[in-house]
Chain A
């Protein structure tokens, strides 16, 4: 029986149509994936179903829920429906919780307000729900404020609040996009187990999640529903060219070419790098501990790990953006020391960085031509403005943007365009080392592919060495030569790409790889391979820091931290690796 029916839904803002004539049905208890790139109208559709379209939106068409036409409901009836029969989980759980209220109180409010229970009963209902979503130590968490919880825990609380009234439909809008893969796997597991008979409308850009968790899928392109059907059928034979594009743009961790190791001379070497931050008071937080790495000419070295593993601190210290507590960086035979301002001018020309958030890394007050031309204005002062403009034009062409972008400001660019501008700016001085800090994480699949192949092309032409920080192992597999795995600031495994993905030696690496959803419905998703979350860096576990989450842990792990040792061409820090 159909639960939710959309008939010819269209949403317009002024002249532009963001959702165009979309019709679909969600039946009771089924799970449906709504996929598409950013700007395809996924979230707009969800907001329209909830009656939460932003001001200025003109919504037309019919939305029926359990036979009732939602457009005829009063505000009050709609509120009631939203609370009791439709649950919602958004992407960013920190935005959806009131920072000034204990989470238990926020949940209890939902329970009492809608008359599900009162007094002590309400409290018990909330406790039970928190326990169900896997919050440890519910008594204490009931009184916790949102900022005291990790992102994953907050998302669990959001799930609890969405499901506490036992709704018939749960709408989840990119519920795991802000989380680490390991935590994502936990949340998706949880979604499966506690959903019971609630229908699920899962909005995502990640086909891996759809393949593993949705019975049917709907594909949106620029506001139009272009493809719909059973997940297995669509993956086997897409009904529309766009579905095919999405599928081929989704990187797979379980197959495809990998790049062979590069043998060349070392360009950049880091020895025993340690970065610690002074926390309020006397404690020190060690973000990076004794990390070694070497980067060869023309090589792509990937650095992976969950958030808090010290990936970004490591490269910031290498580049001189944050001070290194101890250790040294050697670049082309010279030691780089101190903050970037005090380093040899050559560094600024030859070591460059591309950030995760392209818009944030571009000065909002400068035009593209000034942004891309600034490195020239600093380092090649002899150029006339005409020559400089020519070089800027070339640099933009290299990244696939034409001259019409010269006059634009960053806010007038899409995410993909802005990232290409940032790359053009980093490449215009023809650097020897490029550090990409989650440089493609914010981009849609097809744009991501373009950017990655651009980087690869530049590398082949110029011998650029790339340090590629990413949490996305499927991407890492497709572009890197070697991979460095970090956990809580420590190196746990260093291996050639092929060796790492074919035979991961460290249990942490294995878990990371298993947690990545595979965009193929025939591959059943394994249960979340890693439970719990990264412990606080202020209070690391004794012995091997990974032991509390490790399946192999024994007494020796609780007592002694393992050294990094050679093992079949890789280096691994684990007592039990063989």
Chain B
């Protein structure tokens, strides 16, 4: 099956693409913006008349536009975090695992050291060193996320290295670089895809946690996590402030999971029937 015919890749990929498109273009269609407060319409429920499709929040800001904005941030965080963990983590882990010996020991001690840094302390350190900046979230999440991936990939590589097809490739004269990228990496796809699909929700949650502490996205900017956090406070009077961003968050997370399953089927030859 190819990328375009696999049912769960098609469906979940399609939904994610649609959500991303709406998040990009939606705010242009709305007469409202994400900043303007309207004290005449605090916590007003969704209505189509005034083009407040998702209602307003406790400051009277338009929730539709704010949610779209949140999706952008959330998707961006998810994609950047998974790319960082994918590229750095897989390359780092595969090299450490395949080369082995002292190189492996040294490389993994670096990972251990980074692990040992308390995450919040690390973020605060970044804040002090640099200006408080939106980009810092990516740096912080990226710096932490690839560590798990590197460990997992290294472990898997250690066992793949002992497999006979690697010995066969060595005997043919295949270079170590080519062995890592042509023979080992493709066999990691199953576990890597599964792990990336776990990384994405984790990154999204970390982002909303940071935002909650005031270390992440700053008001009036927002993310799905920040919106859900705000919505929890209004849950009783204005359930839409929780249900809409929360529902979208769940949809996005679920789509990423199904996408991951599908991608594994497509890329892993053993699942092709």
Once the chains bind, are A321 and B170 in contact (CB under 8 Å)? yes
Residue with the greatest number of chain A CB neighbours at <10 A, chosen from B173, B186, B189: B173
Bitwise, A393-423 to B at CB < 8 A (1) or not (0) is 0000000000000000101000000000010
Once the chains bind, are A348 and B173 in contact (CB under 8 Å)? yes
**Interface: B174 (CB within 8 A):** yes
In angstroms, Cα B174 to Cα A352, docked, is: 13
A residues near B186, Cβ cutoff 8 Å: 363, 365-366
In angstroms, Cα B168 to Cα A158, docked, is: 36
Once the chains bind, are A362 and B165 in contact (CB under 8 Å)? yes
Tell me the smallest distance from the CB of B169 to a CB of chain A, in Å.
Answer: 7
**Interface: B172 (CB within 8 A):** yes
Once the chains bind, are A351 and B269 in contact (CB under 8 Å)? no
Q: Which chain B residues in 138-173 approach chain A with CB under 8 Å?
A: 163-165, 167-173
**Interface: A562 (CB within 8 A):** no
Once the chains bind, are B268 and A374 in contact (CB under 8 Å)? no
Once the chains bind, are B187 and A409 in contact (CB under 8 Å)? no
Chain A residue with the shortest CB-CB distance to B178: A378
Which one of B169, B173, B187 lies within 8 Å of A345 (CB-CB)?
Answer: B173
**Interface: B102 (CB within 8 A):** no
**Interface: A539 (CB within 8 A):** no
Once the chains bind, are A319 and B163 in contact (CB under 8 Å)? no
Once the chains bind, are B187 and A319 in contact (CB under 8 Å)? no
Given contacts A341-B176, A360-B164, A361-B165, contact A411 B171 (CB under 8 A): no
**Interface: A349 (CB within 8 A):** yes
Once the chains bind, are A378 and B187 in contact (CB under 8 Å)? no
**Interface: A92 (CB within 8 A):** no
A residues near B164, Cβ cutoff 8 Å: 355, 357, 360-361
Chain B residue with the shortest CB-CB distance to A409: B269
Once the chains bind, are B269 and A321 in contact (CB under 8 Å)? no
Q: Which chain A residues in 336-351 approach chain B with CB under 8 Å?
A: 340-341, 345, 347-349, 351
Once the chains bind, are B174 and A353 in contact (CB under 8 Å)? no
Tell me the smallest distance from the CB of A373 to a CB of chain B, in Å.
Answer: 11
B residues near A366, Cβ cutoff 8 Å: 186, 269
Once the chains bind, are B272 and A340 in contact (CB under 8 Å)? no
Tell me the smallest distance from the CB of A435 to a CB of chain B, in Å.
Answer: 9
Residue with the greatest number of chain A CB neighbours at <10 A, chosen from B169, B172, B178: B172
B residues near A375, Cβ cutoff 8 Å: 172-173
Tell me the smallest distance from the CB of A215 to a CB of chain B, in Å.
Answer: 41
Given contacts A321-B167, A361-B164, A365-B187, contact A409 B173 (CB under 8 A): no
In angstroms, Cα B182 to Cα A366, docked, is: 9
Tell me the smallest distance from the CB of B226 to a CB of chain A, in Å.
Answer: 41
**Interface: A379 (CB within 8 A):** yes
Given contacts A348-B173, A361-B168, A378-B172, contact A409 B268 (CB under 8 A): no
Which one of A349, A353, A357 lies within 8 Å of B173 (CB-CB)?
Answer: A349
Q: Which chain B residues in 173-196 approach chain A with CB under 8 Å?
A: 173-176, 178, 183, 186-187, 189
In angstroms, Cα B168 to Cα A374, docked, is: 11
Which one of B163, B169, B171, B178 lies within 8 Å of A351 (CB-CB)?
Answer: B171
Q: Which chain A residues in 421-437 approach chain B with CB under 8 Å?
A: 422, 425, 429
Tell me the smallest distance from the CB of B269 to a CB of chain A, in Å.
Answer: 4
Q: Which chain A residues in 88-143 approach chain B with CB under 8 Å?
A: none
Tell me the smallest distance from the CB of A383 to a CB of chain B, in Å.
Answer: 15
Once the chains bind, are B269 and A379 in contact (CB under 8 Å)? no
**Interface: A364 (CB within 8 A):** yes
Once the chains bind, are B167 and A409 in contact (CB under 8 Å)? no
Tell me the smallest distance from the CB of B46 to a CB of chain A, in Å.
Answer: 49
Chain A residue with the shortest CB-CB distance to B168: A361
Once the chains bind, are B171 and A321 in contact (CB under 8 Å)? yes
In angstroms, Cα B176 to Cα A379, docked, is: 15
Bitwise, A178-191 to B at CB < 8 A (1) or not (0) is 00000000000000
In angstroms, Cα B187 to Cα A429, docked, is: 26
Which one of B174, B176, B187, B270 lies within 8 Å of A374 (CB-CB)?
Answer: B174
B residues near A345, Cβ cutoff 8 Å: 173
Tell me the smallest distance from the CB of B258 to a CB of chain A, in Å.
Answer: 23
B residues near A361, Cβ cutoff 8 Å: 164-165, 167-168
Tell me the smallest distance from the CB of A180 to a CB of chain B, in Å.
Answer: 21
Bitwise, A363-377 to B at CB < 8 A (1) or not (0) is 111110000001100
In angstroms, Cα B165 to Cα A104, docked, is: 39
A residues near B167, Cβ cutoff 8 Å: 321, 353, 355, 361
In angstroms, Cα B183 to Cα A110, docked, is: 47
B residues near A360, Cβ cutoff 8 Å: 163-165
A residues near B170, Cβ cutoff 8 Å: 321, 340-341
Chain B residue with the shortest CB-CB distance to A363: B165
Chain A residue with the shortest CB-CB distance to B171: A353
Tell me the smallest distance from the CB of A299 to a CB of chain B, in Å.
Answer: 21
In angstroms, Cα B171 to Cα A375, docked, is: 10
Residue with the greatest number of chain A CB neighbours at <10 A, chosen from B167, B171, B187, B272: B171
In angstroms, Cα B185 to Cα A363, docked, is: 11
In the complex, besides A340-B173, A361-B165, 14 extra interface pairs with C-beta distance below 8 angstroms are A319-B171, A351-B171, A353-B167, A353-B168, A355-B168, A363-B165, A364-B270, A366-B186, A374-B169, A374-B172, A378-B172, A411-B269, A422-B168, A425-B172
> What are the nearest 8 A-B pairs in CB distance?
A348-B173, A365-B186, A361-B164, A363-B165, A409-B269, A360-B164, A375-B172, A355-B164
CB<8 Å pairs between A and B, sample of 25: A321-B170, A347-B173, A351-B171, A352-B172, A355-B164, A357-B164, A360-B164, A361-B167, A363-B165, A363-B183, A363-B187, A364-B187, A364-B270, A365-B186, A365-B268, A375-B172, A375-B173, A378-B172, A378-B173, A378-B174, A379-B173, A409-B270, A411-B269, A422-B168, A429-B172
